[in-house]
Structures are given as C-alpha cells and as structure tokens.
Amino acid sequence: MNMHQRPGHELHGHERQQRLEVLLHELRTSLTTIRGWAELPLQGLSDDPELMVRALRRIQDEADHMHQAVQQVFPRADASWVRPLETEPVDLRDVADEAVADLGLLDPERPIARENSGRATVVADNRMLRHAVRNLLDNALRHTPAGSPVTVAVRGSVAVTAGGAGDGTGGVAQRVELSVSDRGPGMGPQDIARLTSPYDEDGRIEPGGGIGLTIVRRVVERHGGEVRVSSAPGRGTTVTVAFPTVSVSSGN
C-alpha cells in the first residue's frame, strides 16, 4: 500500500483511470479558457482597462481551478478525493453570463442566446457551479455543427412536487433551473445513456462518453439537485440542471 494513502483508500486501476480522465478534461477546459482571455491583448483590445481586469480575473480563476483539480486527484495524506462544499449565495444568471462570455470569446461565430425568468439565487459552491455550467456549454458546442445556435436559459422559482405524493405528506418545493439547448443532430436513448455515464460496466471509459456531463451531474447532485436530458434524433438536445433554493450543508 502507498504510504501516502490512508487504509481503505487505495486507488484501484479503474478509479485511478476515472480520476485521470476527469482531471485531463478539467485541465483542457481551463487551459482553453486561459488561452482565450490571454489572447485579448493580441487582438488590439488592451486599451480597455475594464476588459483587461476581467481577463486577468478569469485567468486567475482558471489557474486556481487547475490547482484544485490536481490536488483532488493527487491528494495529500490528510486530504480526501471530494473536497467539502464552500457554499455562498450564487446567482445562476451571473454564472450563465460568465460561461457565455467565455465561449463567446473562444467561438465568436457561434450564436449564443440568453434567457432569464425570475430570481435565480441558490446557496452553492460558486467555483464548482461555474465549472459545471461551463462544461454544459462546452458539451453543446462539441456535439453540434459550427455556427449552430445555442440557448442558455435560467428560470427561477420553478414549483415542483416534493416527495410524499399521494400520502398527504407531499408539498411544493421551489427550484432554480438552468438549461442549455442546441439545434444539433440530437440523440437516441442509448446515446443519452452513454453521454450521462461514460464508464462501461468494468469502469473503463467508453469511446464518445460524456466526461463533461458526468462532471456536471456530480456537481449538481452534491448540491441536492438533478440533471435532465431531453433529446431526439433531428430535434436537438436540451440539458437542464435544477437546484433547490434552500441551503445545503457543506460536504453533503
């Protein structure tokens, strides 16, 4: 057993592969964002101090995320694979705007529409949530033709039935939703299953699996939310993440 691992926390081959695949995906996403913002001065936009400050902040945020991602895959003896949530009030509209700005910089020819409806504040881990939404948009761009439009919609105060249906104990809970819709080729049920769970029965990565959406699902579920995928061949795809509007306890 590796002396840097605690008893019961040995990494098996499949788990090690999964961690490395997730790490490589996250590093690629962050490096792409850093390169996009770092190229602004080369595009003659360095005379805008406000834009330059924004670019430096985004570069710093992505560098911090890369550092945390590496630490999670190669933890110290006293660290765990899944870090505790650092929660605070987060407006999903701001998160969506930031993700759209990132991808608009990287793919300026791509039409990306924004829609808002109602208050959209949740108690969440801001950094984790931002990268989940960024992965959602990145996934839409990767699986649709160049120039195909994408819509990012945020809806607040969505009422859903909360458990206990039919036994008198159910109620109505308020949710906040963010959806990313594209007009790509769409998917059948088998493709949806592979996109949301890219590992096969033996824990290996399947070709064409959706690492990005798997990361999204893990983040959303840690916040007590859920991910829904709606798609059909020839009709495009919509991925919706829904969060409760109540606080969640750190690490649960």
> Band of the pLDDT at 54, cuts 50, 70, 90?
confident
How many angstroms separate the CA atoms of 22 and 8, rounded? 22
Q: What are phi and psi of 123, to 5 degrees?
A: -95, 110
> Are 29 and 148 contained in the same domain?
no
Residue 175 resides in a domain: yes
Gap between the Cα atoms of 134 and 105, Å rounded = 13
Domain count within the chain:
2
In a domain, residue 119? The reply is yes
Domain that holds residue 21: 13-73
Pair (238, 133) in one structural domain: yes
Compute the Cα dihedral for 25, 28, 29, 31 and give only its sign. positive
Both 126 and 36 in one domain: the answer is no
The band of 8, judged by pLDDT with boundaries at 50, 70 and 90, is: very low
pTM for this structure? 0.63
Please tell me the distance from the alpha carbon of residue 197 to that of residue 213, in angstroms, as a whole number: 8
Of 68 and 45, which is predicted with more confidence?
68
Q: Does residue 98 lie within any of the structural domains? A: yes
- Cα gap 63→30, rounded to integer Å: 7
Is the domain of 184 the same as that of 128? Answer: yes
**40 DSSP 8-state letter:** G
- Residue 78 domain-assigned? no
Which pLDDT band holds residue 7 (cuts at 50, 70, 90)?
Answer: very low
> Do 53 and 98 share a structural domain?
no
Task: Please write the tens of the pLDDT for every residue from 202-220.
Answer: 555 444 445 778 888 888 9
**Per-residue model confidence (pLDDT) at position 13:** 61
Same domain, 97 and 67: no
Is residue 200 assigned to a domain?
yes
Choose the most confident range, by mean pLDDT, from 33-47, 100-114, 187-201.
Answer: 100-114
What is d(CA 179, CA 202) in angstroms, rounded to the nearest whole number?
31
Residues 235, 140, single domain; the answer is yes
Per-chain mean pLDDT for the chain:
76
> pLDDT tens for residues 121-169?
999 999 889 888 988 888 888 888 888 999 999 998 777 665 544 444 4
pLDDT at 73: 64
What is the rounded CA–CA span in Å between residue 188 and residue 197? Answer: 14
128 and 182 part of one domain = yes
Q: Please choose, from the candidates 117, 198, 104, 195, the residue with its C-alpha nearest in 3D space to the C-alpha of residue 149.
A: 104
Please check whether residue 6 lies inside any domain of the structure.
no
Burial label for 196, CB within 10 Å (0-12, 13-18, 19+), is middle
Are residues 94 and 67 part of one domain?
A: no
In whole angstroms, what is the distance from residue 100 CA to residue 138 CA?
10
Q: What is the pLDDT of residue 247?
A: 44
